[in-house]
Amino acid sequence: MPVSRHLRPACRPRAVAALAVLISVAALLVAPGGAVAKPPPNPSNGQLSAAQRQKNALATEVGQLSGQVAQMQSRLLQLKVQQDLAEQKLAYALSKLTEAKTAADKAQSNLEAARREVVKAQQDFVGYVQASYMSGDVSGTTGTLLTANDPNVLLEQGTLQNYQANHQLNAIGNMQRASVALSNADAAARQAVKLRTDAKNAADAAKQQAIAALTSAREQQRQLQATLAVNQHQLAAAQEKLATLNNQRNVYLAFVAEQARIAHERWLAEQRRKAEAAAAAAARARQIANAGSGGGGGGGGGVFSPAPPPSGGSWSGPRGQTAASRALQWLGATYIWAGGNASGPTDGGCSDPIAPCGTVGFDCSGLVLYAWGPYLGMSHLASAQFTEAGSYHPPAGAFQPGDLLFWSGDGTIGGIHHVAIYIGGGNVVQAPQSGDIVRITPWDQVESDYFGATRPLT
């Protein structure tokens, strides 16, 4: 039997599926035989309003937190850029430290050689004086030396002048030159030691800066995740509470609607019964009237029924492919701060805050040094490699294997903090970050601050 349009429930659930479930539940609440079951709980309007306000407040907090999450993600990207830059500075400082050590070793070698020359010059002169004395030529310099009142004067004047004039060895000149060389070598050694100390201090400062940036980023990320988890948990609890109250109200309304439908069905049935009784009475009355008048005929009653680009230089496709292939040989190698050079992976001076000391691998610019090592020498610094590698900067979509792709935190060359090597097919090989490994990545998924590309040897 259809339900009257005017008796449909005034409050409908928003989801059709939920309405069907609620009506089914309400129908089950009608006891067999037409008896009305006990009504389900009906939350008050105050309870529903309070739950709605709590849910709205938490939703607002989560919305605000979502904005903070976006800001924090941006901040984390900035911190990662700072970390990458610090790591690159460390790599550069360590390379300068190596150069200073080499210069110091060379200066020390020159110092030792100068000292040996001084000793030899002294020995040559002493040997000459001894030979002059043992020759027995008293009429010459030796005799003058033996009979002179002040032999020192003769040695400084006569003997020395005679020796310098008649001997190609020139021991005094050798001594003087050796002394000058000794002084120069000593000064060079001191300067090299100073450079080495300055380079070491710069490397240590860069290392501490990088570690501080990394630690700060991780701590802020941890706090953000903890705060987000708490707020999401509270919001989920409030949403569940509100959903429970709304469900109780909907079940109650469905119950009321179902009882109204049952009552309407009963009313309709009663109306049908009355109509049928009236029709039967009318028929009997007609029969009686016909019988009394003797007439014939009669009428019937009814039952109520409701209703490629330029390159130049010495670049070539095979060289670019060789560089890409060399980098791909180290897939899976550990990322190490300041790690790698043209010869292969290194431990980066044990500067990585995560990897154990002695672990070898590459950082981003170290992998570039190895990849292009057979053809090109560059600094161990991503920002320097952008201009040192070549002069042609291909646009996106025109990359060739071996091209270097760069990312910058502030849109400048000085802000470049990461470099990767294009291998073809829209992919690059890169050493991403501390704790990671050398891997293949789609070039447009490396970082969000892509800067530009350089084709080496152009």
Percent of the chain with pLDDT over 70: 76
- Nearest-angstrom CA–CA distance, 352 and 337: 5
Tokens of 70: 């976006």
Q: How far is CA 212 from the centre of its chain?
A: 16
Tokens of 14: 């928003």
pLDDT tens readout for residues 310-330: 545 899 999 999 999 999 999
- Nearest-angstrom CA–CA distance, 184 and 179: 9
Are the C-beta atoms of 363 and 336 separated by less than 8 Å? yes
Q: How far is CA 67 from the centre of its chain?
A: 20
pLDDT tens readout for residues 12-27: 334 444 444 444 444 4
- Nearest-angstrom CA–CA distance, 114 and 176: 11
pLDDT tens readout for residues 274-300: 778 777 776 776 676 666 444 433 333
Which pLDDT belongs to residue 103?
A: 80
Are the C-beta atoms of 386 and 404 separated by less than 8 Å? yes
* 140 burial type by CB count under 10 A (0-12 exposed, 13-18 middle, 19+ buried): middle
Which pLDDT belongs to residue 158?
A: 58
Which pLDDT belongs to residue 346?
A: 97
pLDDT tens readout for residues 202-246: 878 877 887 887 788 788 888 888 888 898 888 899 888 889 988
Confidence band of 169 (pLDDT split at 50, 70, 90): low
Whether pLDDT at 49 is above 80:
yes
DSSP bridge partners of 286: none
Q: Can you list the domains of the chain with their CATH numbers?
A: 25-264 (1.10.287), 317-454 (3.90.1720.10)
Q: Which distant-in-sequence residues (6+ apart) come within 8 Å of 340 by Cβ?
A: 346, 348, 361, 362, 363, 366, 367, 369, 370, 431
DSSP bridge partners of 362: 335
Which position has the token pair 């009428």?
Answer: 299
